[in-house]
Structure 1
């Protein structure tokens, strides 16, 4: 990703600091999105109610069927502050500014600022604190190749476990993530806490995950395991075990995804699996495809294809078409999009 450096002046604060800088990076995307039987909340519409035989007319908010085709958009700006000491230790912090359309009704959304992530790196060691991504969110080939301008089809669609992830528009979890890479191996782990309730009683939730990755030649294998512990006798702890495999063969690349999604809920508890692929047809055109599912009745099955046409300079035309369904869903949902994306 091409990054535009707005401020690269060395700011010498102490003798131990080698340099300091502010960097801006991100991307924008906009286009047309189609979702079969789209519905969402619409505000400032005429609402008619009857109270004691009296008809009242006013404005309000209601969930109604909206246009299947809407204008889709996203603007994402990463703001990074970076300092490196003379001894080679790098300190950095990131916040993200992001604006998306309202996917339910197509209305424009306001930009929101994320919570801060703080990072210390030295050699192969990295430690994140604050609004961080965990071992699953950082796992190699977890997301694979996602077709569509909005990346709306994924090999991971059968997973329902709630793992730690960076929040682009909120404070996120105040957590810690650790990663160490040496040679062809990489190890990661994260930990965070939250507060919940069972039958009105307040409980503390401990969530943790660990991962290991090994790369040999053109193949990368990765595995991660995580649990959410409520510390309540007789209550089973949800967990997730994921294995991914990715390979690159020149113009073709592919990924394999298998997971034991132990949600402790009958509708979503079970095994999830998926595959994805990308093929570079020529110098500018890449085709993508993905499939994901699970054996539980509530698991989402997704499949679709997409295309990316590179315009050069960090800009591209992207689009895709796919379908989402599940065993207990009344109807499947066809989805498609097309538009432009530019990285900066």
Structure 2
């Protein structure tokens, strides 16, 4: 994401004093969404979303960076009245020598597992059914993640990366105790990762991912053993010289109730500063969702 420096709280060259800055950056999107589900509020709906990240940081003369982030997000889908934007709780911490310690509205280790989101299609993600940790049997989004317009989980996390190796440990005690860990290794154009979460209320989740690229093609696979459900996903992509990428995924879950195999197909096309994106998904119940629109960063 391109970040633009709008304001600087302090740029002090005096020896022994820290330099501080504030950065603003974000993204937006708009388009239309189709949903054939009988319970959908609108079969065809107008969609838009705006995100603004506000990042403050200061680096001490000993090389420690202290940072803080809040996010403003607003968006609306449908044909009714619009709702107001919200401001997230802050994420605050420090980074030094490859280590990051953060508190508050944490990212979450399971959420941050490399490869978890691979295979995403469409302008909006179309329900993010490509995630092996999202299942109808066990539910969706059952882990800690940064809340873009609300409170999130008030937790603590430690992140480390060096020479292709990555590790992330997080904990929160909001409602139930959640301890999560991911480990990853990147070698060339390929990454393998494993994630784990112990939720005192819901149970354990195990996650394995692998993915990479060769030439203009990308491939990936993921498997999650959720509290009561196992789900796998395979995905692939192909890029073309015109700035177009086509992505597809197939996923299936095996739990107490057997659902249809989920699939998705989408594309992105560069507009030179913005991206045209669209896709279609066949969900677990045999219904279809689709979207089309433009997204851009600033």
Q: TM-score, normalised by structure 1?
A: 0.79
Aligned with residue 334 of structure 1, among 283, 288, 293: 288
Per-residue CA deviations over 1:141-198 (Å, capped at 9, x if unaligned) read 1111311000114421554461111111111111011111121211111001023xxx
Asked if the contact 1:244/1:255 (under 8 Å) is kept, the reply is yes
In the other structure, the counterpart of 2:103 is 129
d(CA) in 2 for partners of 1:112, 1:39: 27
Structure 2 unaligned spans of 5+: none
Per-residue CA deviations over 1:189-237 (Å, capped at 9, x if unaligned) read 1001023xxxxxxxxx32101111111122111001111125xxxxxx6
d(CA) in 2 for partners of 1:106, 1:142: 34
Which structure has the highest strand share of the two?
1
Task: Report the alpha carbon displacement of residue 299 of structure 1 after superposing the two structures with TM.
Answer: 6.1
In the other structure, the counterpart of 1:261 is 226
d(CA) in 1 for partners of 2:117, 2:25: 21
Per-residue CA deviations over 1:46-93 (Å, capped at 9, x if unaligned) read xxxxxxxxxxxxxxxxxxxx4311111100011111111122111111
d(CA) in 2 for partners of 1:37, 1:324: 9
Q: TM-score, normalised by structure 2?
A: 0.91
Equivalent pairs counted in the alignment come to: 291
Asked if the contact 2:46/2:77 (under 8 Å) is kept, the reply is no
Aligned with residue 166 of structure 1, among 139, 143, 146: 146
Query: Aligned with 2:124: secondary structure?
Result: coil
Based on CA coordinates, which of the two structures has the bigger radius of gyration? Answer: 1
Task: Report the alpha carbon displacement of residue 102 of structure 1 after superposing the two structures with TM.
Answer: 4.0
Query: Aligned with 2:22: secondary structure?
Result: strand
* Bigger mean CA deviation after superposition, 82-91 or 9-18: 9-18
Q: Alpha carbon RMSD of aligned pairs, Å?
A: 2.1
Structure 1 unaligned spans of 5+: 41-65, 196-204, 231-236, 263-268, 327-331
Q: Does 1:324 align with 2:283?
A: yes
In the other structure, the counterpart of 2:7 is 7
In the other structure, the counterpart of 1:53 is none
**Compared with structure 1, are the counterparts of its residues 182 and 108 closer, same or farther at alpha carbon in structure 2 (3 Å cutoff)?**
same
Structure 1 stretches of 4+ moved >2 Å? 8-18, 37-40, 105-109, 157-161, 298-302
